[in-house]
Amino acid sequence: MADEHTRTGPDKSAERRPWRVEGGRDEPGDSSPPATRRNGLPRPPGSTRFWRFLLVLLVLNIVLAQLIPSSEDERLDVPYTFFREQVTAGNVEEVNARNDVIQGAFRREVTFDEKGPETRFETVRPTFAQDDELLELLLEKRVEVNARPIDEGRSFLATLLISFGPTLLIVALIIWFLRRSTAAGAGGAMALGRSKAKRYDASETRVSFEDVAGIDEVEDELKEIVDFLKTPDRYRKLGASFPKGVLLSGQPGTGKTLLARAVAGEADVPFFSLSASEFVEMVVGVGASRVRDLFDQAKKAAPSIIFIDELDAIGRARGGGGGFGGHDEREQTLNQILTEMDGFTGSEGVIVLAATNRPEVLDAALLRPGRFDRRLTVNAPDKDGRVQILQIHTRSVPLADDVDLQRVAASTPGMVGADLRNLINEGALIAARRGHSEVSAADLADALERIVLGAERKITLSAQERERTAYHESGHAVLGMLEPGADPVRKVSIVPRGRALGVTFQSPATDRYGYDARYLEGRIVGALGGRAAEELVYGNVTTGAESDLEQVTSIARQMVGRWGMSDVIGLVSVLPPPGEEQHYGPLQVSDDTRELVDREVRRIVEACYERARRMLADNRERLESLTQALLEKETLDEDDAYRAAGFSHGASASAPADVESTVAEEPGPASELPTA
Please say which residue of 377, 392, 419 terminates a domain. Answer: 377
The reply to whether 614 and 581 lie within a common domain is: yes
- Closest C-alpha to 492, from 298, 633, 319, 367: 633
Q: Would residue 48 count as lying in a domain? A: no
The reply to whether 491 and 622 lie within a common domain is: yes
- d(CA 426, CA 436) in angstroms, rounded, equals 14
Mean pLDDT, residues 284-303 taken together: 79
- What sign results for the dihedral spanned by CA atoms 140, 141, 145, 151? negative
Overall number of domains in the chain: 4
Q: Would residue 637 count as lying in a domain? A: yes
Q: Please enumerate in sequence order all residues whose Cβ is within 8 A of that of 494, keeping only pairs 6 or more positions apart, or say none.
A: 466, 469, 470, 473, 501, 502, 630, 631, 634, 635
Task: Supply the pTM of this predicted model.
Answer: 0.64
- d(CA 11, CA 22) in angstroms, rounded, equals 17
- d(CA 573, CA 563) in angstroms, rounded, equals 7
The reply to whether 396 and 498 lie within a common domain is: no
Residue 139 belongs to domain with CATH number: 3.30.720.210
Is 473 an active-site residue? yes
Highest average pLDDT, of 102-116, 289-303, 415-429, 584-598, comes from 415-429
The reply to whether 519 and 435 lie within a common domain is: no
State the average pLDDT for the chain. 76
Q: Please enumerate in sequence order all residues whose Cβ is within 8 A of that of 519, keeping only pairs 6 or more positions apart, or say none.
A: 485, 486, 655, 657, 658
Mean pLDDT, residues 121-131 taken together: 81
The reply to whether 492 and 626 lie within a common domain is: yes
The reply to whether 262 and 354 lie within a common domain is: yes
The reply to whether 362 and 405 lie within a common domain is: no
Q: Would residue 544 count as lying in a domain? A: yes
Residue 343 belongs to domain with CATH number: 3.40.50.300
Q: Write out pLDDT tens, residues 604-642.
A: 999 999 999 999 999 999 999 999 999 999 888 888 889
Q: Could you tell me the residue range of the domain that residue 211 belongs to?
A: 201-377
The reply to whether 283 and 370 lie within a common domain is: yes
Q: Is the pLDDT of residue 347 over 70?
A: no
Q: Would residue 232 count as lying in a domain? A: yes
- d(CA 73, CA 468) in angstroms, rounded, equals 92
Residue 448 belongs to domain with CATH number: 1.10.8.60
The reply to whether 373 and 507 lie within a common domain is: no
pLDDT at 189: 44
The reply to whether 136 and 225 lie within a common domain is: no
Mean pLDDT, residues 232-248 taken together: 83
Q: Would residue 606 count as lying in a domain? A: yes
- d(CA 450, CA 447) in angstroms, rounded, equals 5
The reply to whether 439 and 483 lie within a common domain is: no
Catalytic pick from 266, 426, 473, 660? Answer: 473
Please say which residue of 335, 356, 377 terminates a domain. Answer: 377
* HSE-CB of 315 using CA atoms within 13 angstroms: 27
pLDDT at 172: 74
Q: Write out pLDDT tens, residues 459-501.
A: 778 888 889 999 999 999 999 898 887 888 888 888 888 778 8
Per-residue HEC secondary structure of 400-420 comes to CCCCCHHHHHHCCCCCCHHHH
Residue 32 pLDDT level (bands cut at 50, 70, 90): very low
The reply to whether 361 and 401 lie within a common domain is: no
Q: Would residue 457 count as lying in a domain? A: no
Please say which residue of 347, 377, 407 terminates a domain. Answer: 377
Residue 571 belongs to domain with CATH number: 1.20.58.760
